[in-house]
Amino acid sequence: MGVDYRVLQEAAKWFAVLQSGAASPGERQAWAAWLQQPDHAQAWARVERISGQFQPLASDAIGRSAGAMLHSRQPNRRQALKVLSVLCGGAALSLAGGSLPWRQWAADERTAVGEVRDLRLADGSQLWLNTDTAVDIAFDANARSLALYRGELLIDAPASRRARPLLLSSREGRVRSEQAARFSLRQEDGRTRLSVFTGVVDIQLDGFAIASVGAGQQAEFDRRHVAPLVAARAEHQAWATGVLLADNQRLEDFLAELSRYRHGYLGCDPRIADLRVVGAFPLGDTERVLDALAATLPVRIERRMTWWVSLEPAAKRVDA
């Protein structure tokens, strides 16, 4: 009350400018000057109240992923039932997730199976967490460190300032970068895989630098050795955009990858394990991916139980 439309309009505009995360120092100053007037400050308090309503959700993984469904509106009974059946079908997943815009210090972050989430870190780094991933983030004035416990991450980090190298540890060792770099790190059983897309990243085992991995290169390491470098694969960053890439991949390997995004068993008959898969598939809907496979390969989908899906050779002529 008492705040006129024009002021509310200005407040909304300032909100849009500041929320972009790309406001210039000049814009920030102009906003601070605007805020000096009491009625402006009053309008701004409302902006913060509204924006604050999202806080309990943004900081709650479950609420956030449930919030994905707010994107669509106009429910009716049929639609509600459809949504329910889809969600109950076990293929429920959201590329929802999300992030608090200004995350700063130590934080535990986890993603659910099927969830891909991006976060912006205090130094301006962009971090993506792939499905079923757990990390600790410790970013402050002295250190920029992340610990990957499970799953896979992709980070796009600016160059270090004030001698704060970026340090990421996995169960096997540690990777370190001082330049601007974009790379993915994946925790596998007994080994870690590093794929570098820009910059240079060093691998340290037992605290000693063992190898430097440059842009376009990929390395796997365990506690003792770094395997010979190979070319980095595009699919190791494509997931961050919700795409599962297959470049002439064996069907069995492709399914193993796909199954990371859903609950339950997903596999195939050994007779078709070596069929080749090529394509870009949407990670948001693994059922659709399976349908696409059935449409392009000589396979059929056998749903034995809700949690048990197996691909079988497509039925051919019945040979007596």
Partner 1 sequence: MATEGMVRQQMLHRLYSDHHGWLNGWLRRQLGCSQRAADLAQDTFVRVMTKDEDMGAIREPRAYLHTIAKGLLINHWRRRQIEQAYLDALALQPELVAPSPESQALIVETLLQIDAMLAQLPAKVRRAFLMSQLQGMTYAAIAAELGVSERMVKKYMAQAMLHCLLLVAED
Among residue numbers 70 through 89, which ones bind partner 1 (CB under 8 A)? Answer: 70-73, 75-77, 80, 83-84, 87-88
- Contact call for residue 250 and partner 1 (CB under 8 A): no
User: Which span (27-35, 105-113, 194-202, 290-298) binds partner 1, by CB under 8 A?
Assistant: 105-113
Q: Are the C-beta atoms of 194 and 176 separated by less than 8 Å?
A: no
Contacts of 146 (CB under 8 A, 6+ apart): 127, 135, 136, 137, 138, 153, 155, 166, 167, 168, 169
- Contact call for residue 13 and partner 1 (CB under 8 A): yes
Label each residue of 111-142 as H, E or C: CCCCCCEEEECCCCCEEEECCCCEEEEEECCC
Among residue numbers 21 through 60, which ones bind partner 1 (CB under 8 A)? Answer: 21-22, 43, 46-47, 49-51, 53-54, 56-58, 60
- Contact call for residue 67 and partner 1 (CB under 8 A): yes
Of 174 and 260, CB closest to partner 1: 260
Single-letter code of the amino acid located at 48: E
Which residue of 40, 109, 119, 211 would you call a contact of partner 1, by CB under 8 A? 119
User: Which span (91-99, 211-219, 226-234, 308-316) binds partner 1, by CB under 8 A?
Assistant: 91-99
**Cα separation, 240 vs 24, whole angstroms:** 28
User: Which span (111-119, 135-143, 250-258, 308-316) binds partner 1, by CB under 8 A?
Assistant: 111-119
Q: Reduce the DSSP state of residue 32 to 3 states and report it.
A: helix
Number of C-alpha atoms within 13 angstroms, CB side, residue 124?
10
Which residue of 34, 110, 198, 202 would you call a contact of partner 1, by CB under 8 A? 110
Closest to 243 in 3D by CA, of 186, 282, 201: 282
Number of C-alpha atoms within 13 angstroms, CB side, residue 31?
17
- Can you read off the two tokens belonging to residue 265? 């068993």
- Contact call for residue 64 and partner 1 (CB under 8 A): yes
Chain residues in the site for partner 1 (CB under 8 A):
1, 3, 5, 8-9, 11-13, 15-17, 19-22, 43, 46-47, 49-51, 53-54, 56-58, 60-73, 75-77, 80, 83-84, 87-88, 92-94, 96-101, 110, 112-115, 117-120, 126, 132, 263
